[in-house]
Copies of this chain bind each other. A is one copy, B any other.
Amino acid sequence: MTAPIRLLLADDHPVVRAGLRAVLETEPDLVIVAEAATAEEAVRLAAEQPVDVVLMDLQFGAGMNGSQATAEITARPGAPRVLVVTTYDSDADTLSAIEAGATGYLLKDAPPAELAAAVRDAAAGRTALAPAVADRLLHRMRAPATALSLREVQVLELVARGLANLDVARELHISQATVKSHLVHIYAKLGVDSRTAAVAAATTRGLIRR
């Protein structure tokens, strides 16, 4: 028998951490070596000890989000694999997580068996995508007209939260001119001509999370 797969759980909900622990601890080849309640803590713990797979939530109450933490974790040499386990999925979440170096993307409504299988896939370096996520990614490939780039989705999500262009610029550390430029491209791709119309179109198409 080979060495067990060492896991780090990163989720701000104690209940979810307990659930993941309960589900995964019944697998003899998996061992949970640490838990993190914040993204920052996850980054720190992943650096302090040998870990094979990090189960990473995307939404944390405050501070760094899961994508940022994923990017920091995967940036280091000999980094563990990061398997994103989140509740809701949108193009924005999926793309930024994959962009950040996630090995897999699961939804929390996955059955336990699927979860354990995905962990093993991730540990072996194989990509593990939830069916719903894989479907959407393929669908995007086939219809590249409506496919917003990662940056464009990020801009649009902030716009949907009601931020003005200058606020979006500050949030993303770019200039206001760039935000306007992105918006022009977004309008063209969605076939609209105002920010609120873009938000409405993107919402009905499921491009952004509400």
Contacts and interface: CB of A to CB of B under 8 A. Distances in A.
B15 A164 contact: no
A177 interface: no
Q: Which of A110, A162, A200 has the most CB of B within 10 A?
A: A162
A18 B112 contact: yes
A161 interface: yes
Tell me if A's interface is mostly helix, strand, loop or mixed: helix
Interface stretch (A20-28, A39-47, A118-126): A20-28
Interface in A152-197: 159-164, 192, 194-197
A93 interface: no
Contact of A61 (B23, B109, B163, B164): B109
Interface string A39-60: 0000000000000000000000
Interface string A122-143: 0000000000000000000000
A85 B192 CA distance: 34
B162 A200 contact: yes
